[in-house]
Amino acid sequence: MTTFLRFALPVYLLVFFFAAMFWRSYKTWKETGVNPYKLGNTESAHDYNGYRFRIVLVVCFIGVAIFSLAPALYPYLAPVEWLEQPILAILSLGLLTFSLVWILIAQGQMGESWCIGIDEAVKTSLVESGLFRVSRNPFFLGMRIMLVGFFLVIPNSATLAIWAVGDVLVQIQVRLEEAYLRESHGNLYAAYCFCVRRWL
């Protein structure tokens, strides 16, 4: 199982970032002419949170690289050995696969409203169909599931920190975006919030 994971996890990360970040953003840009990447380097809460989340993703890449390419260094990440069970690894791979599929579906249903960050210059329509009928934030829900999956598939101090910090940053980002949507869509968004829960 360990040998398989050393191959599968880097592939998963590459597929995730190509399909969920690069390809979806490129497709939205080609369809709308608007760059959907809106994370900047200002001192705003939004940009600060986005910058910290990018650090979390980089640390995730480093952790997977150590696990897969430098196994001699992996003990320095303080593995949680009692969680290193084949059945848990299989279930975790299932979580990772589910989260990726869920995220791609959510992005597809967002269509031209897809954006990395908050774009105050372009007002997009409020998406209420598909997965958005059961969750106000299906993309971020998928990200939370992915963070849990990564910790459980290679449980160590680094992936635990990634999960903990990443989840806090996702919670903050969701509240920032919901505040923007409430301001942008007014009563329509308030009614949507009344009918659909933040997560599930």
Each residue's pLDDT tens digit, 47-56: 899 999 999 9
User: 55-70: per-residue pLDDT in tens?
Assistant: 999 999 999 999 999 9
pLDDT > 90? residue 43: no
- For residue 66, give the nearest of 130, 140, 9, 148 by alpha carbon: 9
Question: CA nearest 28: which of 15, 40, 17, 37?
Answer: 37
Annotation: CATH topology of 2-195: Four Helix Bundle (Hemerythrin (Met), subunit A) (1.20.120)
pTM, full prediction: 0.93
pLDDT tens per residue across span 107-160: 999 988 888 988 777 778 899 999 999 999 999 999 999 999 999 999 999 999
pLDDT above 80: residue 82: yes
Do residues 161 and 77 lie in contact, with contact meaning Cβ atoms separated by under 8 Å?
A: no
Instruction: Tell me which of 33 and 95 has the higher pLDDT.
Output: 95
What is the enclosing helix (H) or strand (E) of 53? helix 45-69
